Amino acid sequence: MFDTLGSGFRTVLNKIRFSDDSKALDKALDELKKTLLKNDVYHKTTKEILSQTKDYFKTNPIGKENFLKALSLSLESILKTNLNYGFSYSSVPPTCVLMTGLQGSGKTTTSAKLALYLKGKNKKVLLVPCDLQRLAAVTQLKTLGESIEVDVFNSESKKPLEVAKEALKLGKNYDVLIFDTAGRLAIDEALMDELDSIKKLVKPHDIFYVADSLSGQDGVRSADTFNQKVGITGVILTKFDSDSKGGIALSIAYQIGVPLRFIGVGEKLPDLEVFLPDRIISRLMGAGDIQTLAEKTASVMSDKEVKDIQKKIKKGNFTIEDFIAQIENVKKIGSMSSIMGMIPGLGNVASGLKNMDFDNSEEIKNIKCMVNSMTKKERLDPSILNGSRRKRIAKGSGLEVSDINRALKQFDMAAKMAKQFSGKKGASDFMSMLGQMKAQKR
């Protein structure tokens, strides 16, 4: 997420590393301008960021640390349209939400992601399929709903307004109703009329516009049109795990004055994050986002697991059983690229892992087959795996000895990384934070 933009910012900082004069500042600002425009940041947004960054040095000395602080403050100013981030609830349940956007933006999948996010907050959610224009939309929503065990409203009606009306009658039994409305390949009057009718009927607490992060300035213009026609209260950006340049995130908040509420950071349904400017800026600057990672991890790990891992991180111990257990936990948290982007210093590794799929990866399947053919003693101490043991494991798992050797090599690398990470302040802070979160939940 924000790979090219974050990389560009780090390049800018290097321009001022060894100098503290006005000439170095001008070079850094020029490089910053190029980086922002290259990453699809709107020219007026770029101008504002440059102006605020430069103004900081009217009262502060020039230097790398101050440039980092000045840039962070200007980005905060751009992104903080108001304090309404994430999900908010109406005072009288159920909370009704309209999901709007153009066809292909990921609106239906995002509806399911949002439902899963709310389910994790112990909310009872009903997904309402009002997209009757796209033939597969209703089926897709039902399939997604089943996969996360969230109810999907079923209606025989062929009219979106009727479906919405029927769902409202059932709505008193739920905390949140999410209406997945129809999109088009382009904005047209029919689409807006339909949305306006549903809006008047449902009286939604929030209207989210789902924008494809690859759409650049076109996405900003479309969001602005939806805002003018039906009024939107927030934007959800999808596909931030792709080759998105990231500029739309800075531009959309500044240009239309509507807050980014969530971002989709992967294809998996757990890959939805609340857009919190402070944390996003931290990732952009390469400082990671331990707070979000701890929150996600705390939701899928038991108290015992947290305590056990705390002990093992301190000792630098890491067994094959730990390896498999953490793979299972990671699957619940989200995509590998989104996780790596939250760890300080590892953001640049994330792009290389964006296509890693823990469910379908051949390597992960081989590792699981290998572990299932190992004895308890072998799992706890892989160093005893000599040639004959490896042959036995290969035969029992249906793999080649070369597959076993490769899997063990991957485990060794993971074990070394865990040992190195155990001595870093980031790991200590993370585990301490995780322990506190689990204690607060009791």
pLDDT tens per residue across all 442 residues of the chain: 455 666 677 777 777 765 567 888 888 889 889 888 887 788 888 999 999 999 999 898 888 788 888 888 888 888 776 666 789 999 999 999 999 998 888 999 999 999 999 998 999 999 999 999 887 899 999 999 999 999 999 998 989 999 999 999 998 899 999 999 998 777 888 888 999 999 999 999 999 999 887 777 778 888 888 999 899 999 998 887 655 556 777 788 788 888 889 988 878 898 898 887 777 777 666 555 555 555 566 656 666 766 676 666 566 666 777 777 766 666 666 555 556 555 554 444 445 444 455 555 676 778 888 988 999 888 888 889 999 999 999 999 999 999 899 888 877 776 666 565 555 544 455 455 445 544 554 4
Last residue of a domain, one of 284, 316, 341: 284
- Calculate ∠ Cα 79-84-90, nearest 5°: 160
Same domain, 313 and 239: no
Q: How far is CA 157 from CA 151, 161, 249, in A?
A: 18, 9, 38
Distance between CA atoms of residues 197 and 264, nearest Å: 28
Same domain, 176 and 129: yes
Asked whether residue 87 is assigned to any structural domain, the reply reads no
Query: What number of other Cβ atoms are within 10 A of residue 426's Cβ?
Result: 16
Are 40 and 255 in contact by the 8 Å Cβ rule? The answer is no
CATH no. for residue 52? 1.20.120.140
Same domain, 273 and 323: no
Asked whether residue 86 is assigned to any structural domain, the reply reads no
Query: Quick check: helix, strand or coil at residue 274?
Result: strand
Q: What are phi and psi of 242, to 5 degrees?
A: -80, -160
- Round the CA-based radius of gyration of the chain to a whole number and report it: 24
Distance between CA atoms of residues 367 and 253, nearest Å: 44
Query: Quick check: helix, strand or coil at residue 113?
Result: helix
Same domain, 161 and 50: no
Are 212 and 103 in contact by the 8 Å Cβ rule? The answer is no
Distance between CA atoms of residues 354 and 334, nearest Å: 11
Distance between CA atoms of residues 95 and 147, nearest Å: 23
pLDDT for the residue numbered 417:
63
Same domain, 29 and 148: no
pLDDT for the residue numbered 295:
59
Place of tokens 């995509």: 335
pLDDT for the residue numbered 353:
47
Question: Own/partner pairs for 189-192, CB < 8 Å, 24+ apart?
Answer: 192/229, 192/230
Same domain, 125 and 61: no
Asked whether residue 89 is assigned to any structural domain, the reply reads no
CATH no. for residue 303? 1.10.260.30
Query: Quick check: helix, strand or coil at residue 288?
Result: coil
Distance between CA atoms of residues 104 and 244, nearest Å: 16
Same domain, 267 and 298: no
pLDDT for the residue numbered 332:
64
Distance between CA atoms of residues 286 and 300, nearest Å: 26
Domain residue limits at 383: 290-441
Asked whether residue 85 is assigned to any structural domain, the reply reads no
What is the pairing mode between strands 260-264 and 272-274? antiparallel
